[in-house]
Amino acid sequence: MSAARPHCCPAIGSAAARVYRRRRPERTALYRLVQQHLETWLARARERDPDAAPIPHHIERELRGFLECGILACGFARARCGTCGHDFLVAFSCKGRGLCPSCTTRRMAETAAHLVEHVFPQVPVRQWVITFPRRLRYFLHRDPVLLGRVRRCVLRAIESALRRRCPGAPRGARCGAVTFVQRSGSALNPYTHLHCCLTDGMFSVDAAGPLRFHPTADVTEALVSAVQRRIRSRVLRLAVRHGALTPEVAADLARWGHGGGFSLHAAVHIAAADRAGLERLLRYCARPAFASERLCWDGAGQPVRYHLTRPLPSGQTELTLTPLELLDRLAALIPPPRRHRHHYAGVFAPHAALRARVTTCAGQPVTATAPVTVPAPDPALPAATRRRASIRALLAHLGEHTTAPPLAPRARDPPELAADGIDTAASLRRYGVLPLCATTPAKLMFGCRGPLRRGRHPVLCRSRPRSRSIPSPGSPHTGPGRLRCATNTSGLAPSP
């Protein structure tokens, strides 16, 4: 990096101002494993069924996108301080939803911060976790229609039980719910279950108009057991109507003891004033399916060890897999495209009558408030500016700098994206990243088993270019496109 360059700006804040350090995904065990075995895994999958496409396109796209995430050779933006001239490179991210530890962790933090700051008022919240028998998990994992119906069935059963425990709540009172669909277990196995975060009470509007919250009385073990039996009966009937189970199998599951494979847990309760605890709970519900820090791999020819959070029934504390077996398990955990990871219900639902009034009180106590006026967004403010404002709010929520990011020990001004006719290959050389070319060994893509694409400069190309605007050589570019020209250009994407 350029930390050794002289700076002319006075130090910001304290003397211990942090310096931006780019993450190095190519040094992690997961990246090296996927890089060295992806092509072999895809080839063996095609050999098993040569007449069909055994690997769905979204899985291959997710894996290949992970290999480009955070790699400067696959695209970057350059930010600089206008006062002292200090600059640095920010690599593009893959925005993945299932495999990339960096992108999924950032999505987890963003989701939790958004729910705490803009959705949940200052009311008590309880987590309800529902798991299903093995005979039903396969269909829930594969059939999104059945999963949506089961999710709504579970929420109706819980809400009706909570309404009966709310003294003084009118008949039309509703609770607020956010449901997270977890598709995996701690052992990297397909394990579809639901984490439902519900307000521990009901919202209503009386005749005078103010918004009121009716807290729920104590949630006892007897109430949870009654809700579990009701969910079990309704879900089994729903599965039979949907065709997932036969009537005979559903009857067998209904006769089983210990809940018949249905488990309901509702012991986690967050007090109204504990906003930090609520955010920790939401982070747990929105956590990634894969924890890269528990993965150990010593290199080619060695097995992969994945440490478990709790021992298996057999007493096993870690999984020992081959790299190809690990890719099989990771591919099964990648969610299909255009499927929501969390859903809103009750007063948080998109078309709920009280949604605007409840979410406007986010972060504030709700007892009996006056009618709330919902502010409309400024039409003169462009969408990109509103998006930047939300990102700045997220950084402030996480305790990061927003007005003067610590780019360098003596930097003072916020960074600006540079699009002033730079030599991309020269920039890569300057920052210690050698550019690739078709006639020299691929020094960055070590261990890659696939050939480089013909006719494209591997420094500036993506494996699957998006249909976006492409900068022409010699002209500045500030649009949202990625570089994919065979010659050096002056354009850089404005944001990672």
User: pLDDT category, 423, cuts 50, 70, 90?
Assistant: low
For the chain, helix (H) and strand (E) counts, in that order, are 12, 14
For residue 179, the model assigns a pLDDT of: 97
For residue 380, the model assigns a pLDDT of: 55
* Model confidence at 262: pLDDT above 90: yes
Q: Give the side-chain half-sphere CA count within 13 A for 263.
A: 12
* Model confidence at 405: pLDDT above 60: no
- Indicate the range of 43-52, 275-284, 310-319 predicted with least confidence: 43-52
Q: Give the mean pLDDT of 79-83.
A: 78
- Indicate the range of 183-192, 261-270, 340-349 predicted with least confidence: 183-192
Q: What is the pTM of this model?
A: 0.74
Q: Which among 433, 453, 437 is positioned nearest to 487, based on CA atoms?
A: 437
Query: Chain centroid to CA 305: how far?
Result: 24
> What mean pLDDT, rounded, does the chain reach?
76
Say if CB 152 and CB 144 are below 8 A apart.
no
423-430: which pairs have CB atoms within 8 A and are 24 or more residues apart? Answer: 423/488, 424/459, 424/460, 424/483, 424/488, 424/489, 425/459, 425/488, 426/488, 427/78, 427/89, 428/72, 428/73, 428/459, 430/2
For residue 484, the model assigns a pLDDT of: 34
Q: Give the mean pLDDT of 386-392.
A: 53
Express each pLDDT in 356-383 by its tens digit: 889 888 878 875 444 444 455 555 555 5
d(CA 130, CA 265): 7
Element (H, E) at 156: helix 144-164
For residue 278, the model assigns a pLDDT of: 95
For residue 245, the model assigns a pLDDT of: 92
Return the higher-pLDDT residue of 285 and 364: 285
Six token digits for residue 456? 């494209």
For residue 490, the model assigns a pLDDT of: 33
